[in-house]
Chain A
Amino acid sequence: MTDQDKIVVDNVSKFYGEVLGVNRVCLSIPPGITSLVGPNGAGKTTLLNLICGLLRPTKGKISVLGQTVNEPDLLYRKLGYCSQFDAFPRGLTGLELIYGYLKVYGLSDREAHQMAWSALETVNLTDAANRRVHAYSKGMRQRVKLAQAISHRPQVLILDEPLNGLDPMARAEVIALFQRLAADGAHVLISSHILHEVDMISDRVILINNGYVVAEGNIRGVRDEMDEHPMQIMVRCDRPAAVAAKAFEQDHAVEVKMHEDGQGLMIRTRSADQFYLMLNRIVLDCNLNVEAVAPADDDVYSVYQYLIGTDGGRL
């Protein structure tokens, strides 16, 4: 995979006067769904705006599928952007909004109309297409923003909190849409606060804090690299003491904490593989009733906690 297939951010820094936006960011984003995660004010919107070409970096270079922002007419054919802000020109209906937007691309009336309509169909806004955007509910406004972003069939989608304000059904539909687009080879870059959704849908994750990229890659891979934090595994069963005793006999167990109700334990181990294989045996040998087993920190939320903590979220 060459640079032509990726979004490349090359040692980019952005300062607003003295105030830091992002500092020395190096990223290389392949196709698929990539999530950008971090506290408010960490630089997510700055980074997305830089990739979109809405801001110029103070230092460094950015190229999207080989295209830089120096040729905007070529760049924006490849890129679709959905901002987190809720602002629309007054007096337009949903259809008019997207139609007008598509006309800027030089499409004929008929084509623009067709593509606008098909974009609205994709987000299920056909019923309200001829009503003013002003009168839409929050969820509908969000959907019209998404429709606008996908209407010209871009290769790269940059979406800033795209699921904000959508009800659970719409969320599932939009997530399915992203997965379809990613399966077709598009780059979908999403910024989100809802970590369990990020976990569910992303192929890759970028964690950003205070303007720096703190971690990047596949979530399991990121977790594996964090050796100063041994893996935490939670087991709910009827006799946790048996598991604990066996675990201490091995040398990979670092810490065991019993749950308050005596129906489970939390174990920290240096080798998850060894522990799980050992668990198989313990269940059979001691005739345990297991209710649940789960890695307690193998998800985005835990990685977030370790790397960013409550730092950015401080009141």
Chain B
Amino acid sequence: MAVYKHSYQAYTGPLTSTSLRFLTLPRYAYQRIFGSRIFLALFLVCFLPPLVAAVFIYLQHNAKALQILQIPINELIPIDAAFFQVFLYIQCSLGFILATLVGPGLVSPDLTNNALPLYLSRPLTRRDYALGKISALLILLSLITWIPLSLLFFFEAKMAGMEWLWKNIRLEIAIVTGAWIWMLVISLLAVALSAWVKWRPIAGALIFGVFIVGGGFGALVNTVLFTNWGSLVNIAAMMDIAWRWLFRGEGTPNSLPVWSAFAGLVGFCGVCLLLLSKKLKAYEVVRS
């Protein structure tokens, strides 16, 4: 017979790697959000357009299937830059909706009840914390944007042959770069808003708001001042310009020069990071 006494014991076991520790944060965020069936359903819906695109690609290269479906060959959609750009646009829009659902709940629960000191008293710097929260969104968005689209690209390449691959490698670069720029913009915006705004619906609405107000204000400035620089607050416009350049190598007429669009986007990310760093402090020092 043995009587077991349970008292406090120190921990002497193995530890996980410090540099990858921030990934704990996305893991817990996913446990929470995928618990909601609505979200799960929405997430799965995001994979439908790539599936449709895959079907298009398959049909392009499969004459027999075309015959069965009785689709004349000249009515097929060409698989080119426009094709991928359109689908990227669709996926990013769906991702936008996901971000407004996921983003607001990332940081505000930690700040509402002063839990940040508990995080920061662990081997987790402010940078790690921010990285963890942002990557929760980045990973999620990656899964529905550049990853499926890159798979589509390589699927088409397999179907069309290596020549097509090398001729159109620019497209793959455009997909990855375009998706990442957009993911960074939206993730930083969502996380920054989550840190500043306590109520989730309002934070979500504000994400929309930034785009709509930015768009409206930008258009207003452009009209009133007869210029194009108003578009610097119009994120959607800047993204369009950036993508167009990435996919087709051309600037957008009657609009901002390409370099300024990129600069504007980078600037926007910088502002979000600044806002985030202001809020993520272990303790406020109140001055009299």
Residues of A within 8 A of B (CB): 131-132, 134-135
- Render B135-172 as a binary contact track against A, CB cut-off 8 A, 1 for contact: 00000000000000000000000000000000000000
Please indicate the chain B residues that have their CB under 8 angstroms from the CB of A131 in the complex.
Answer: 288
**List of A residues within 8 angstroms of B2 by Cβ:** none
- Minimum CB–CB distance from B113 to chain A (whole Å) comes to 16
| B residues near A132, Cβ cutoff 8 Å | 288
Judge whether B286 is part of the interface by a CB distance below 8 angstroms. Answer: yes
Shortest beta-carbon distance from B92 to chain A in Å: 43
Q: How many A-B residue pairs have CB under 8 A?
A: 6
Taking Cβ atoms with an 8 Å cutoff, the residues of B that contact A are 286-288
Find chain B residues with CB under 8 A from A134 CB.
286
Chain A contacts for B286, CB-based, 8 A: 134-135
Q: Nearest chain B CB to A165's CB is how many angstroms away? A: 15
Cα separation A132 to B287 with both chains bound (whole Å): 10
Measured in the bound complex, the distance between the Cα atoms of B288 and A131 in whole Å is 7
Chain A neighbourhood of B288, CB < 8 A: 131-132, 135
CB-defined contacts of B287 to chain A, threshold 8 Å: 135
A132 to B286, CA, bound (A): 11
CA distance A315 to B287 in the complex (A): 38
B287 vs chain A, min Cβ distance (A): 7
Taking the nearest CB of chain B, how far is it from the CB of A5, in angstroms? 44
**Nearest-Cβ distance from residue A224 to partner chain B, whole angstroms:** 39
User: Which 6 pairs between the two chains have the least Cβ-Cβ distance?
Assistant: A135-B288, A131-B288, A135-B286, A132-B288, A135-B287, A134-B286
What are 6 A-B residue pairs whose CB atoms fall within 8 Å in the complex?
A131-B288, A132-B288, A134-B286, A135-B286, A135-B287, A135-B288
Shortest CB-to-CB span from A135 to chain B, Å, is 3
Residue of B nearest to A131 (CB): B288
- Complex Cα–Cα for A229 and B288 (A): 55
In the complex, what residue of chain B is closest to A134 when comparing beta carbons? Answer: B286
The complex places the Cα of A135 from the Cα of B286 at a distance, in Å, of 6
* Least distance between B288 CB and chain A CB atoms (Å): 3
Nearest residue, chain B, Cβ from A93: B288
Bound CA–CA A134/B286 (angstroms): 8
Give chain A nearest CB distance to B183 CB in angstroms.
Answer: 40
Give the CA-CA distance A134 to B288 in the complex, in Å: 8
A133 vs chain B, min Cβ distance (A) = 10
Residue numbers in B under 8 Å from A135 (CB-CB): 286-288
State A134–B284 Cα separation when bound (angstroms).
13
